[in-house]
Amino acid sequence: MGIFIGDDTRLVVQGITGRDGSFHTRQMMEYGTRVVAGVTPGKGGRTFDGGVPVFDTVEEAVAERGANTSVIYVPARFAADAVFEAADAGIALIVCITEGVPVGDMLRVLPYVREKGARLIGPNCPGLIVPGRCKVGILPGQIVREGPVGIVSRSGTLTYEVIFQFTRAGIGQSACVGIGGDPLIGTDFVDCLAAFEADPETEAVAVIGEIGGTDEQVAAEYVSREMSKPVVGFIAGQTAPPGRRMGHAGAIISGSEGTAEEKIRAFESHGIGVARRPADLVGLIRDR
């Protein structure tokens, strides 16, 4: 099972001929993801690596190759256009890896995607992986392992770190989703928690949050109200100074809002076990 992607995924790669796009397309194909098409405007008619047809538009990739999922590796200035195009073409799941997308672009993209009935993951995210079955994005396939824990995170390498610790401890994952570090993202913690709750293969969930915004607080409330499965969490940025953007565009304490303390308190008050160190997540999951 897993969530959002799986055996039915038919992937189109937007920006397949670019440096990042071509590299990760090969990685995804190696992992077993069905890459059915690529899109690079002006390069329609070519073939990528001798097997994947390249089109000028996503519309053609959907019409001719039945693509239902898209992953976006185009430069930031074209990322919003790429999401609009994928949603308009009827793509159901759009994963935007691109970092540096203007927040004003996302303001317009988010309602559009919703109106088209599509799901956007990202931008500025590592994508997602269902161990042993399908990977869309840039998460390293070698660190995951099949198993019962769902992982959702706003971060990239910190997610790898957590996955790595679980895998080393012999605990596999049902799916790992990086939702992205930007202030406005398509899929939030609650969306992923709901999917994990519904996924029969997931037995517990680890939520990796960080400073900035209130998504963790909303998630905590959701967990206590709607979830039957145990949830554990970690919040990065306890030592972050207020008012500074900690790398991620979304990781900033604004005034008194978005501190790690506030998020940890929200987790604890809603019954989510909070790890002081990433390594403690393993023990917390074992205890549940």
The correct pick among 54, 250, 266, 282 for binding other proteins (CB under 8 A) is 250
**Residue from 50, 117, 170, 277 binding other proteins (CB under 8 A):** 277
Q: Given candidates 7, 63, 214, 271, which one binds other proteins under the rule CB under 8 A?
A: 214
**Residues belonging to the active site:** 248
Number of residues located near other proteins, criterion CB under 8 A? 77
Whole-angstrom distance, CA of residue 123 vs CA of residue 98: 6
Q: How many CA atoms lie within 13 A of 252 on its CB side?
A: 12
Cβ(232)–Cβ(206) under 8 Å?
A: yes
Report the alpha-carbon distance of residue 183 to residue 213 in Å, rounded.
7
> Closest separation between CB of residue 172 and other proteins, Å?
18
234: contact with other proteins by CB under 8 A: yes
Strand partners, 71: 13, 95
Query: Is residue 42 at the binding interface for other proteins, with CB under 8 A as the rule?
Result: yes
The beta strand positions in the chain, using DSSP E, are 11-14, 35-39, 47-48, 52-55, 69-72, 93-96, 119-121, 127-130, 134-137, 146-153, 173-178, 204-210, 231-236, 273-274
Q: 199 or 210: whose CB is closer to other proteins?
A: 210
76 binds other proteins (CB under 8 A): yes
| Residues in region 160-189 near other proteins by CB under 8 A | 160-161, 164, 181, 183-184
Question: DSSP string spanning 67-115?
Answer: --EEEE---HHHHHHHHHHHHHTT-SEEEE--S---HHHHHHHHHHHHH
Q: Does 38 bind other proteins (CB under 8 A)?
A: no
Nearer to other proteins, 225 or 277 (CB): 277
Which stretch, 2-10, 57-65, 190-198, 266-274, contacts other proteins (CB under 8 A)? 57-65
Footprint on residues 17-36 left by other proteins (CB under 8 A): 20
Question: C-beta of 1: minimal distance to other proteins in Å?
Answer: 25
How far are the Cα atoms of 43, 90, 262, 281 from residue 178, in angstroms, in the given order? 30, 23, 22, 17
Residues from 187 through 206 that contact other proteins (CB under 8 A): none
SS3 133: coil
Residue 209 near residue 154, CB atoms below 8 Å: yes
Among positions 88-147, residues that touch other proteins (CB under 8 A) are 88, 99-104, 107-108, 110-112, 126, 138-140, 143
Report in angstroms how near the CB of residue 226 gets to other proteins at its nearest.
18
Nearer to other proteins (CB atom), residue 130 or residue 240: 240
